[in-house]
Each structure stands twice: as structure tokens, then as C-alpha cells.
């Protein structure tokens, strides 16, 4: 852990821009509050929150502790100052499935439902479930990542709306299963502006 901590401390941000990544860490992805790196030659990933969101690390750690290493979520290892150490999940997001044409099956959707129901049964409130927060692993498992907003109180409609779009649009026989990125981004933008009839 000592060595890993040194590596993590070397990462530099300017707000949400990553300015420096040390050898030993491999960039995996980033979102609104953090960037995630794989610790090379391990099956571990570190989520490092941008300086202004540092406080979220403790909150997300508590959620992971509650989830108690359930299979539907990445295993959680440790929390530090502004970062979380967890399992590196080898797989692709549902977003990437849409871009590369890998079918999102009804079975996969049921698995997400099960994951969220499990979280609900623990008194959590699954929120912010979007296409980049769900991973399909190479062995066909589904894992929900990014559980930081599971503690918020208000009702988040994202997963409900995604499922509705899935059932009424994606599942139609003549609808393609592969979409250009710009198209997905356009739809996401319309959704955020509440311009979609959902
Ligand atoms: N444990 C993991 N294993 C593999 N990839 C991961 C893991 N955690 C996160 N990622 C990748 O890193 C990206 C960003 O992580 P995450 O969603 O946790 O950040 P965030 O800033 O909280 O995102 P959001 O914008 O949804 O709030 C994910 O979309 C995913 O591609
Ligand atoms: Mg995310």
C-alpha cells in the first residue's frame, strides 16, 4: 500500500484535467468527479477524485462497505485521502457496447436490476445509473461501478428512463445495435435538456 500511495500522490490535476500520470498507473476513464487508473501488473484500480471532490472518497467508501463485496459491484479494498482502491474490472461499459455493436441483452438488463434491488435492500438509493457506470466483463458478468451517489435522498429516474428507452426502442427488431458516438452524445444531450418524450 505504501508504494501505491506514493504513485497516487504523484498524479496531478488542474481541476478535472489530468496533468501528470506516473509510470505504474494506466488511465482507464474519467467522469464528473474523478479519474480512474489501473495499477499496472495488478487487478486493482484507483479512483482519484478531483481536488474539489476529494470529500466524496469517504462517502463512496461507506457505500462500498455496505455493499460488502457483492458480485454485482467491484470489490472494495481501501480508502485514502481523496482516493479509493478497488478491483479493476476488465470489461467494457454499456456505452461502449452501443458504440461497438455488442448487443445489450435482456439478461444483462435483469442483472442490473438485481444489482440495484440488492443495493435498495440495504437501504441505499441507487442513483446516477447511466451507460458509463455499468460494465460488462469478458466473462459476461455485469457490474455496476460508481456508487458514490447511492446515498442521495431524491429519486433518480435515470435507470428507469434508460430501461424504458431500451424496451421501446433498442429491442425493436429493425433498430440497429451499433450507434455512432456523436448520435449517442446527441441523445444524451437531448435527455439532459428534457427534450426527449420519455
Ligand atoms: N473498478 C473499475 N474497473 C474498471 N474500470 C473502471 C472502474 N471504475 C471506473 N472505471 C472506469 O472509469 C470511468 C470513470 O469512473 P467513475 O464512473 O467511477 O467516475 P465518476 O467521476 O464518479 O463518474 P460520473 O461522471 O458518472 O459521476 C468509468 O466510466 C469506467 O469506464
Ligand atoms: Mg461514472
Which residue ranges make up each domain of the chain? 2-87, 91-192
Q: Residue 146 CA: which ligand is closest?
A: 1
As annotated, the active-site residues are: 128
Ligand 1 nearest-atom number relative to CA 36: 12
Q: What is the CA(135)–ligand 2 centre distance, in A?
A: 11
Do the first three CATH levels of 2-87 and 91-192 match, i.e. the same topology? no
Closest CA to 108 of 91, 127, 88: 91
The CA–CA distances, whole Å, from 144 to 40, 100, 129, 138, 150 equal 22, 20, 8, 15, 11
pLDDT tens by residue, 85-139: 999 999 999 999 999 999 999 999 999 999 999 999 999 999 999 999 999 999 9
Which residue's alpha carbon is at the smallest distance from atom 20 of ligand 1?
31
Domain 2-87 belongs in CATH node 3.40.710.10: no
Which residue's alpha carbon is at the smallest distance from atom 31 of ligand 1?
29
pLDDT tens by residue, 124-173: 999 999 999 999 999 999 999 999 999 999 999 999 999 999 999 999 99
Residue 1 has pLDDT above 80, yes or no: no
CATH class of 91-192: mainly alpha
Q: String of b and e for 49-58 (b: at least 16 CB within 10 Å)?
A: bbeebeebbe
Q: What is the CA(146)–ligand 1 centre distance, in A?
A: 6
Q: What is the predicted pLDDT for the residue at 145?
A: 96
Q: What is the predicted pLDDT for the residue at 158?
A: 96
Distance, in Å, from the CA atom of 56 to the CA atom of 15, rounded to the nearest integer, reads 15
* Bridge partners, residue 29, by sequence: 36
The tally of CA atoms less than 13 A away on the side-chain side of residue 114 is 13
Within 10 angstroms of residue 186's Cβ, the number of other Cβ atoms is: 12
Q: What is the predicted pLDDT for the residue at 197?
A: 82
pLDDT tens by residue, 39-70: 999 999 999 999 999 999 999 999 999 999 99
Q: What is the CA(77)–ligand 1 centre distance, in A?
A: 16
Amino acid at each position: 500500500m505504501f508504494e501505491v500511495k506514493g504513485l497516487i500522490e504523484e498524479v496531478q490535476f488542474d481541476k478535472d484535467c489530468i496533468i501528470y500520470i506516473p509510470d505504474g498507473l494506466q488511465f482507464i476513464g474519467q467522469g464528473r468527479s474523478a479519474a480512474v487508473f489501473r495499477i499496472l501488473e495488478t487487478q486493482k484500480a484507483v479512483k482519484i477524485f478531483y481536488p474539489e471532490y476529494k470529500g466524496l472518497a469517504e462517502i463512496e467508501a461507506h457505500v462500498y462497505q455496505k455493499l460488502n463485496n457483492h458480485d454485482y459491484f467491484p470489490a472494495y479494498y481501501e480508502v485514502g485521502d481523496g482516493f479509493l482502491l478497488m478491483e479493476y474490472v476488465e470489461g467494457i461499459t454499456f456505452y461502449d457496447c452501443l458504440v461497438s455493436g455488442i448487443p445489450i441483452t435482456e439478461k444483462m438488463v435483469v442483472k442490473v436490476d438485481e444489482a440495484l434491488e440488492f443495493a435498495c435492500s440495504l437501504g441505499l438509493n441507487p442513483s446516477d445509473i447511466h451507460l458509463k457506470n455499468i460494465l460488462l466483463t469478458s466473462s459476461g458478468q455485469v457490474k455496476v461501478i460508481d456508487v458514490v451517489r447511492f446515498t442521495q435522498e431524491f429519486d433518480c429516474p435515470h435507470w428507469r428512463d434508460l430501461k424504458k428507452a431500451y424496451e421501446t426502442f433498442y429491442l425493436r427488431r429493425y433498430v440497429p445495435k451499433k450507434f455512432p458516438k456523436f448520435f449517442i452524445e446527441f441523445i444524451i444531450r437531448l435527455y439532459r435538456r428534457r427534450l426527449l418524450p420519455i
